Amino acid sequence: MSTRLLPAPDMLIGKRFDVALAKMTGLSRAKAAELVTSGAAHVLGRDVDKASELLAGDMIEIIEQEPEHKVEPIAHDMAVVYEDDDVVVVDKPVGVAAHASIGWTGPTVLGSLLDRGVHITSYGAPGRQGIVSRLDVGTSGLMLVCKSELAYKEMRRQFSEHEVVKTYEALVQGNLKQDKATIDAPIGRAKVSDFRFCITPLGKHAITHWDVLERFGEATLARINLETGRTHQIRVHFSSIGHPLVGDPMYGANPKLSEACGLDRQWLHAIQLEFRHPRTHVWTTVRSTLPADLDHALDVMRQRQQQRELADA
């Protein structure tokens, strides 16, 4: 066990303790809150909780457990769909995290690439080197990781300025009324949970565009483009208009429909990624195909639709 002492930075004075700790350590806010709640992070000389504001002169002590040196599982089925000296784009399977985090014991994109001998830049927060955009553990599809310092700086800029075109496909419950539309609603962390997000006036600006690809009556397959990249953005936005993603119980999915489709995760796949190459500046498009579980769910929906049409005939 070891400890770290960190003075409260001037720029974070007045901020919530968990928010400040997250910015100081590179952890997510949820993980920072866990450290505070467990007593592994505290302010010397006064009692604080995760919502307490940092004061000028505060000294923060973080108690770190010695790593157990467990071998991280490797995602051997994670395909590399594009690679050069600057970037690598993988087709991330469901059940694989972008990077290691407190409490996660499964495979990660970063760990699996390093295990294969892929060089990743040292730029980025510790344990998140080279990563400029992430996918949820329960979301499959294309994810870009930077191999060179030049790529990290440029791709981070492109993602932050929304120049990268990220296209998803999602199966949402119910019949979307319009063939195409935009959801423009701010997203913030839900008060009921550190892991859920919701529409809130105090949230961050978020815009989602969608086009209908196929209708099944009880569900709709949509193509989705994001202008912003908020955590759980697609899941929260569609749930907010009464059309949660099939297989997504956190945001209101019907468990019976999920079971009928054979899904134990949200039907969401990052199917296409378009960006300007960081070195050559050539517009680059990378495309994925649907994984077997999502393909199977579509087959089930088509069969159910045919059965209803025959029953109505």
Q: List residues with catalytic annotation.
A: 136
How far from chain centre, in Å, is Cα 38?
25
- H-helix segments, 81-166: 109-115, 149-160
Output the six-digit token pair for 38. Answer: 């467990």
**Among candidates 142, 146, 129, 128, which has minimal Cα distance to 87?**
146
Q: Where are the beta strands (DSSP E) in 122-265?
A: 140-146, 165-173, 180-184, 187-189, 197-199, 207-215, 219-226
User: What one-letter code names the amino acid at 190?
Assistant: A
Judge whether 197 and 251 are in contact, CB under 8 Å.
Answer: no
How far from chain centre, in Å, is Cα 198?
15
Coil, helix or strand for 17?
helix
Coil, helix or strand for 29?
helix
Q: What is the CA radius of gyration of the chain?
A: 21
With vertex at residue 271, the alpha carbon angle to CA 142 and CA 297, rounded to the nearest 5 degrees, is 115
